[in-house]
Structure 1
């Protein structure tokens, strides 16, 4: 007996999707306007030259090539090892490219504060009292004009070694993304490599004032900085170090990176960083012009011209110079950390400057407030934002057997007007590993989730290194807790190391299950070259099933472009097989006979009858059917 209420709900969802599509697609909709027609035609012409939709491979650079397996908590670089730029060999890059990768996001490249002593190379040692972990947070940048000395075979030649990595990546057919952290810098920021004429952050600040427009930092006037005290979070886990004394000289104290204004921040504040001032006064008002009304529809060149008419806070120009420096070195784009903590007007200025220099630059921002999404895309000229609060969170709940397919679909619909700008992911350096006990406890739960995440939208997809071989993040590295692979300490990444196989990058030490998982990802990610996935329309399908579990756990949709028609269905149930019937989009009924060929797991061909197809899905299984006459 079919659940009529559930069937009715799916029909409501279908009507909602079609309603959204009528505002943007070239279909017979009475409310369709000329502007939408022109936009759609432009998009379709663009799709003709687009080979695939973007796929970003995020790699934590210091961990990628590390072959040591000691994994001693709070271990030194000698004990636990560290990867190098050179570890990204042509073979390694070839295997990353095999996942459909168009862009590699090399995380943790910029020179950030760390405990390891490189003073023999003229690099001042950092104080463990204001460093998280032994290897340091990549988001406490110490020098924006150089790279982490840990990552070089010869730290004195670290920039040259990174330049060589950029060249190898380009030769392998991929582009390079690095982080820019605009909201905060390390407490001991000191650039050793700034080009002539570039001054350090804070070098010209008036430290007698809490705030001045052209100060780079905010100050707690008359008070010295005090290292936060905690019995639970001791520097280096309580290990001895000659510089650990609970002191760090900073007078007057600066505001902390998360906006904390006390001279003695809390241990849970971002105490290792200081907040950058963009001309936002302490009361929240702005010391710079607002964008005029209507600028959300203006071009990048219009935004660029607008800002050339104004004198702006010093920090704006500092970050413009930083991004231009890296673009000139061959970097192809940036991932912006905590972008919503910086005014959208600054992003209009910076991103317009970047696009005037490189129109193809890839600009990705971390924004978690859905109310700000459209402003940061339309006014701030971001290419892409994380689709975390909404799509990822609802998909995670479904993977954990607590959410529903309907909730995921509804979250996707909630950003339908900007969906192509909302990058999808299942893992990154901030999120728990799928295989961790705290998330799904089984890397195979990533299979149906990645099918949906990758194929539901034109937006880019992102993979995190180790995801495709089931890394579980269970190592106790030092600072922080397991379930997320550590970004603060030196550590080996076991499942990834099995794939790396001592630098052969051939998966030689993987288990059969791990090999099968990676092969599945390779096959799935290859579908990003299909026109219907690159630029096709999303269509809903009516799903009929005998059980409530099937209605909640099976997600299905269709994608089409021209004559190419795809039907996607995924079973998120970790234990049960489900059979569902899918009523395909009504405008497909004109085709009297279709066959359905699975592109993912090479199942047998099925016949579509009466515009309906019945599918039986094992636990965690998916199908991607290509419909053919």
Structure 2
């Protein structure tokens, strides 16, 4: 049995013997009337496309990714991602942002950023075209085509909860946004006009928007921003239409609605993982809280309907961290330990742009002033070389062991549950044991295996074991 020992650990509280089903446990989604009366946790989630289940995802904030901040510049780096072992590229919104300067319609984070710009990619003016800041519609088509030639899938970030105050769709039909009895536009928590899903015409407008990107540009899937704020039946209807264009379409929900993966979505966003992990690695919380969070997410959901992407950084986290980024908060070894967990848990691992070179620069979704771009000069540093060596090892391990993608997740009891996460991944008689020391100190731990056998490990600071 091969054993991988690394002095980089990870934060994840997974400790006692309970199990979740394989990623693709929902192979047979039946929507018969008999099944519909079953409790939600006895129904089967939909099957996820294999490319998404097997995938290694990489999120790009175009403004932070390159000094140019364009799709063309990002396209030139696609081969590097493929060579590293990424299989899916997920782009933050690249559509026309609203340029209205009225700060009444700016979010609190937008004002706080000091970018002094109305151009927020999550406050759109035109859903149907690429913002000139990033290039042209043709540049996006070229980006997708190049990605496909390299064996990469492309997912776009769609924002359908709200729009900008001068959005094209408001001119097209005033009923496309919510209004009070006096006709005044209703805004949501981010101060943007809320879309009106009671309008069949709005729904059709958005269906056709998604269809355009799939049919004309070859996009492989979408990440749906604040998915729980949009009616579930809209997403379910969207999936039916999109599957007519691409039966293997992939849909990722930023949300925790329990029914999301019954018919509409393949994966949920990884907040149930990233939040507890940060509290453990940075805040000193018990490592068991990671397991508790993931187990809590699994309960009361359809069988196989707890699939998530695992990350410790993304566009929101990096934006809100300002100069004190994940790399600084966790430290190199802490990040590496968390990466080990990401690549061995059930779900799809996701890197945020720059993690492969230990980037520490400030990022912002609201602009690129103040040097808010990846410091690519760090790519030649020793820490970046160590990070990429680790990533290649983790990717090779994940790809060569089917149990890490499709196997059962079995949490294991251990004698140091506040510090160490322990679990098994098991499939067809093969299994992988994982231990992660979430602390910057040595920890001795006894792990109880499913057959009752106990094994002893002396773990160094942030050390993890994969065997």
TM-score band by shorter chain is 0.7 to 0.9
Q: Quote the Cα distance in structure 2 between the aligned partners of 1:531 and 1:182.
A: 36
Task: Please give the per-residue CA displacement for 1:470-526, whole angstroms capped at 9, x wherever unaligned.
Answer: 2335x4xxxxxxxxx211012445654225xxxxxxx23xx2123212322232233
Is 1:409 the counterpart of 2:410? The answer is no
Separation in 2 of the partners of 1:463 and 1:527?
Answer: 16
Q: Distance in 2 between matches of 1:585 and 1:446?
A: 29
Q: Is the 8 A contact 1:471 1:493 kept in 2?
A: no
1:276 aligns with 2:250: no
User: 2:14, 2:423 within 8 Å by CA — same for their partners in 1?
Assistant: no
Deviations 1:532-559 (A, max 9, x none): 1121111233323xxxxx4311111111
| Structure 2 residue aligned with 1:423 | 309
Backbone CA RMSD of aligned residues: 3.2
TM-score by length of 2: 0.81
Query: Which residue does the alignment assign to 2:367?
Result: 489
- Pair 1:51–1:624, CA change in 2 (3 A): farther
Deviation at 1:348, TM superposition (A): 1.4
The yes-or-no answer on 1:584 pairing with 2:449 is yes
Match of 1:532 among 383, 403, 409: 403
Residue 175 and residue 526 in structure 1: after superposition, are their counterparts in 2 closer, same or farther (change >3 A)?
Answer: same
* Cα distance in 2, alignment partners of residues 524 and 255 from structure 1: 47
Report matched runs for 1:439-458 at 5 Å: 440-457=329-346
1:167 pairs with 2:38 = no
Aligned twin of 2:35: none
What is the CA-CA distance between 1:51 and the residue it aligns to? 10
Structure with more contact order per residue of length (Cα contacts < 8 Å, sep ≥ 6): 2
**What is the aligned counterpart of 1:254 among 185, 191, 203?**
185
What is the 5 A alignment of 1:120-159?
126-127=100-101, 129=103, 132=110, 133=115, 134=117, 136-152=119-135, 158-159=136-137
> Aligned pair in 2 of structure 1 residues 12, 556: CA closer, same or farther (>3 Å)?
closer
2:4 corresponding residue in structure 1: none
Q: Partners of 1:11 and 1:533 in 2: how far apart?
A: 15
After TM superposition, list the pairs within 5 Å mapping 1:186-201 onto structure 2.
186-190=164-168, 200-201=169-170
Q: Which residue of 2 aligns with 1:13?
A: 16
1-side partners of 2:308 and 2:248: how far apart? 17
Aligned residues: 420
1:323 and 2:301 are equivalent in the alignment: no
**Structure 1 unmatched ranges of 5 or more:** 1-9, 26-35, 67-81, 115-125, 153-157, 191-199, 206-214, 223-251, 259-268, 280-311, 476-484, 500-506, 545-549, 590-610
Q: Distance in 2 between matches of 1:334 and 1:316?
A: 17
TM-score, normalised to structure 1, is 0.61
Q: Does 1:216 align with 2:176?
A: yes
In structure 1, what is the Cα distance between the partners aligned to 2:14 and 2:214?
Answer: 48
Q: 1:494 to 1:277 in 2, by over 3 A?
A: closer
Q: Is the aligned partner of 1:183 residue 2:161? A: yes
Q: 1:159 and 1:438 mapped to 2: Cα distance?
A: 33
2:390 is aligned to: 520
1:71 maps to none
Q: Deviations over 1:295-327 (max 9, x none)?
A: xxxxxxxxxxxxxxxxx7211111100000000
The 8 Å contact of residues 406 and 552 in structure 1, kept in 2 or not, is answered as yes
1:382 aligns with 2:265: yes
- Provide Cα deviations, 1:570-609, integer angstroms capped at 9, x if missing partner: 11102x11222323221xx9xxxxxxxxxxxxxxxxxxxx
Give the distance between the partners of 1:54 and 1:100, measured in 2 at CA. Answer: 10
Q: Aligned partners of 2:62, 2:14: CA distance in 1, in Å?
A: 46
Structure 2: 5+ residue runs without aligned partners?
Answer: 1-12, 27-40
